[in-house]
Amino acid sequence: MKYKDLITKMTLEEKASLMSGKDFWQTQDIERLDINNIFLADGPHGIRKQAEAADHLGLNESLQATCFPTAATVANSWNEELGETMGDYLGKEAVAQKVNVLLGPGINMKRSPLAGRNFEYFSEDPYLAGKLAAGMIRGIQSHGISACVKHFAVNNQEERRMSIDTIVDERTLREIYLTAFEIAVKEGETKTIMSAYNMLNGAYTNENLHIMRDILRGEWDFEGVVVTDWGGSNDRVAGLAAGNELEMPTTAGETNEEIIAAIKNGKIKENILDECVDRLLDLVFTTEEVFKKESKEIDINEHHEMAQRVAEESIVLLKNEDNILPLNKDKKIAVIGDFAKEARYQGAGSSIVNPTFLDNTLDVLKESNIESIGFEQGFDRYGKKSKKKIDEACSLAKEADVVLLYIGLDEVTEAEGLDRENMAIPENQIELLDALFEVNPNIVAVLSCGAAVEIPFINKVKGLVHAYLSGQAGAKAILKILTGDVNPSGKLAESFPVRFEDTPSYHQFPGKEVSVEYREGPFIGYRYYDTANVDVLFPFGYGLSYTTFEYSNIQVNKDGVTFNITNSGEVAGLEVAQLYVGCQSKDIFRPKKELKGFTKVSLHAGETKTVTIPFDDKTFRYFNVKTNQWEIEGADYNIMIGASSSDMRLEDNLFIDGTGAPLPYNKENLPSYYSGKANNVSVEEFETLIGRKVPVATWDRTKPLGYNDTIAQCQYAKGLFARFAFRAIKFSHKFLWKIGKRSTANLIMMSVYHMPFRGMVRMTGGIMNMGMLDGILMVVNGKFFKGMRHLLSERKKMKASKRKLDITTGSSSKGEVL
Ligand code: BGC
């Protein structure tokens, strides 16, 4: 232990006190030992430091900070260095705002296009997500503070996010859902990890000994701190035993007491606590160093420009028929669409940033040399139909050479805490597009949203630019792409299926009650479409440029692939070359090919460069469930260089010696996996894959409700009062939605409906304790009077003990009593 001497001087109570927050954002300090508190703040694409009222849902305003493009956007840059530069800028701002731990990046896999937080995550591919995250972490931590990679792990739906049990087989867990974290730990050297809210194969992630101890500490040698997601602690002692140092936010000491009791009664050994304290102290001492130096002012203009640069490299050109783009400067352009007036540039929830500036297209249009003949809103952002708006837009469109149409998803559709209901763009926007097409078929659509959407109108647009959520300077970046001042170089970090029904997890997303079964196994995203031969609209890795690139002269040896790329067009550009590897043996099921490397090359017109993509420890490995370790199958491998996952430009073969491990599967029993058609696997076949029975996925409606059941389950509670409360919640949600208070309606779902009962205690910073919750649960379970008596007597006890504490410490307690 690094801080053994200091820890020896600490009392048991002091040690336990460090294991949970002092308030919503800070850790506990111990003055007598010169241990300061540290500040943790969101988020992944900009700092959300709340100086006053604190919350984890992005409700109360935070200090101003640069809002960079969200992870879903940055991922399209396929540029690890750019990720590092963005991290560097985030790190500078975090230091300026005295933030020790920046809660990001988020690196969960996009299992379904509907997952509510996809806009905050990088990709459906773990290699790409891991590399970009590692870059960002290095950038942030270059300032001496800590990044906090999240949410560890397998956190891929918002529905019942604090209680859902994700059932996934070991190989898929390793190859798909943990690999990005592995890269973030080993290559990014993140100092902090945030555990996820959900359960994984029957245990809450922060209590899950397999991922927390065997893998994170055992295999990856992680020496940093694990912090719970806010309010995500279930059994504090079990979490500590698994190596979860910090619980956030404060529980006003309640769970510290649990730790103390567990040590006193021998449930856990004190040295486990000491080790956790040691790692937490390291985080405190190493991340506070930077604040001892003189602080530097941030040049917010420079940061704004950097946000624009990141967006420029991340925007994806998806269609360019008749070379309608770049926009010829003499053409008359009609700008149509609500999003041109008010940019959609970030998502909602804990990642929300209070931007230093905000560029809107209409305000910055003049600087772009676009010859605009006018603007029409065309549609109402929240889906109300308006014939008048369509007519006005069509009149303007008739006068134009090209229609520039800004469409997308609104602010409440993509939000933390809620999954999307479908992949559609609102009907009223499609109607507008149809009408515009009738009067002027020269349409360039600019899409603003943080995820894959269905694009049924693809044949009605000549140009399509996916701007994703491009941050506070996104509007300018989009215009630079449209005018050709910047040659687009973004490529999709996720597949665009034709229809939602085509997605591999279609039948198993989201889990609605107890669990969600990842029956598609490793076949997520392009791994599925490619292997099962399902057509997509735009494949993973796809993106156009205003120039063309030719690939030649592939040379493969045991260390990697070398090849030439030539810019065969008229203008300078950047090309993302992608290395895919496929195994020719059919003994172990696998995706047809998997991304194993990439590089982004800058080329002048006519220039050729020779590039090498090296192989690494992940190029040929697979996880063998029989030997329970990574192995290599001795076989011939296809080594492919592609401009996207479905556009292979160069190919060669390489034989690789294997590790000689026994075959892990019996082919006959796993037909869907061996064919790759894994979108509708039977429960029996899935059970064969995971090697055990799956837990019952539905609620046992006869059981009384407990700490981990959610408020939504009050619908079948014994207590009349609880059932009434459920109806009232449902009604208020509907009502608020109807009267246009959509964010508030969402909030109800997010922070009440899907909240487990224990959240009432964990999220209220000491206003309530578990004893009081027991009373509430009695009421919920039909024992109204007994429950109320219990609640009141527990409240009285809590008040009394707080008073006693105040007298002994001479301070006023942090937690208020109801
Ligand atoms: C989110 C985290 C976030 C935390 C603090 C939680 O609701 O899941 O991503 O960092 O709140 O705001």
- pLDDT tens across 136-178, in order? 999 999 999 999 999 999 999 999 999 999 999 999 999 999 9
pLDDT (mean) for 733-741: 91
Checking if the pLDDT of 431 tops 50, the result is: yes
- pLDDT tens across 749-799, in order? 888 899 999 999 988 888 899 999 999 999 999 999 999 999 999 999 988
Angle between the 80-96 and 300-314 helix axes, to the nearest 10 degrees? Answer: 150
Cα-based angle 201, 205, 208 (whole degrees, multiple of 5):
70
Checking if the pLDDT of 52 tops 80, the result is: no
The confidence score (pLDDT) of residue 805 equals: 67
Mutate to test the pocket of ligand 1, among 26, 42, 57, 151 (most ligand atoms within 8 A of CB): 42
Q: How confident is the model at residue 814 (pLDDT cuts 50, 70, 90)?
A: very low
Closest-lying ligand 1 atom to the alpha carbon of residue 148: 10
- pLDDT tens across 358-408, in order? 999 999 999 998 999 999 999 999 988 899 999 999 999 999 999 999 999
Judged by phi (left if over 0) then psi (alpha if -120 to 50, else beta), residue 2 lies in alpha
**What DSSP string describes 223-275?**
-SEEE--TT--S-HHHHHHHT--BB-S--TTHHHHHHHHHHHTTSS-HHHHHH
Secondary structure of residue 736 in the 3-state scheme: helix
- pLDDT tens across 193-209, in order? 999 999 999 999 999 99
Q: How confident is the model at residue 455 (pLDDT cuts 50, 70, 90)?
A: very high
- Residue 230 Cα to ligand 1 midpoint, Å, equals 6
pLDDT (mean) for 22-27: 96
The structural domains of the chain, with segments of one domain joined by +, span 1-36+250-294, 300-517, 547-660, 711-809
What is the rounded CA–CA span in Å between residue 105 and residue 328?
39
Cα-based angle 775, 779, 781 (whole degrees, multiple of 5):
110
The confidence score (pLDDT) of residue 812 equals: 45
- Residue 59 Cα to ligand 1 midpoint, Å, equals 12
The confidence score (pLDDT) of residue 750 equals: 82
Report which of 264, 178, 276, 161 is spatially closest to residue 226, judged by C-alpha positions: 276
The confidence score (pLDDT) of residue 813 equals: 42
Residue position matching structure tokens 């029993």: 669
Checking if the pLDDT of 806 tops 80, the result is: no
Question: Going by CA atoms, what residue is nearest to atom 12 of ligand 1?
Answer: 56
Beta bridge partners of 247: 20
Question: Going by CA atoms, what residue is nearest to atom 5 of ligand 1?
Answer: 56
Q: Is 652 considered catalytic here?
A: no
Closest-lying ligand 1 atom to the alpha carbon of residue 150: 9
Greatest alpha-carbon pair distance for the chain in Å reads: 83
Question: Going by CA atoms, what residue is nearest to atom 9 of ligand 1?
Answer: 350
pLDDT (mean) for 688-710: 97
The confidence score (pLDDT) of residue 751 equals: 83
Checking if the pLDDT of 818 tops 90, the result is: no
The confidence score (pLDDT) of residue 803 equals: 79
- Residue 42 Cα to ligand 1 midpoint, Å, equals 7
Domains 300-517 and 547-660 share a fold: no
Report which of 362, 340, 509 is spatially closest to residue 423, judged by C-alpha positions: 509
* CATH assignment, 300-517: 3.40.50.1700
- Residue 663 Cα to ligand 1 midpoint, Å, equals 41
Report which of 449, 489, 484, 479 is spatially closest to residue 77, judged by C-alpha positions: 489
Beta bridge partners of 333: 372, 402
The confidence score (pLDDT) of residue 183 equals: 98
From 229, 410, 419, 530, active-site residue: 229
* Architecture of the domain defined by 547-660: Sandwich (2.60)
Decide: 263 and 273 in contact? Cβ < 8 Å. Answer: yes
Checking if the pLDDT of 808 tops 90, the result is: no
What is the rounded CA–CA span in Å between residue 22 and residue 86?
30
Angle between the 254-264 and 270-288 helix axes, to the nearest 10 degrees? Answer: 140
- Residue 720 Cα to ligand 1 midpoint, Å, equals 33
Secondary structure of residue 503 in the 3-state scheme: coil
**What DSSP string describes 606-621?**
T-EEEEEEE--TTSSE
Structure tokens at 490: 């973004």
The answer, as to whether pTM is greater than 0.85, is: yes
Give Cα 694 to chain centroid, integer Å: 27
Decide: 419 and 461 in contact? Cβ < 8 Å. Answer: no
Mutate to test the pocket of ligand 1, among 162, 227, 416, 762 (most ligand atoms within 8 A of CB): 416
Beta bridge partners of 320: 463
What does the mean pLDDT of the chain come to? 95
pLDDT (mean) for 250-276: 97
Look at 294 and 515; give whichever has higher pLDDT.
515
The confidence score (pLDDT) of residue 817 equals: 35
pLDDT (mean) for 21-50: 96
Enumerate residues lining ligand 1, CB below 6 A. 42, 56, 103, 150, 229-230, 350
pLDDT (mean) for 686-713: 97
Structure tokens at 126: 């773990």
Task: Give the side-chain half-sphere CA count within 13 A for 640.
Answer: 19
Q: How confident is the model at residue 746 (pLDDT cuts 50, 70, 90)?
A: confident
Specify the range with the lowest mean pLDDT, choosing from 118-122, 340-344, 368-372, 517-521.
Answer: 368-372
Residue position matching structure tokens 């059919």: 586
What is the rounded CA–CA span in Å between residue 783 and residue 232?
28
The confidence score (pLDDT) of residue 809 equals: 55
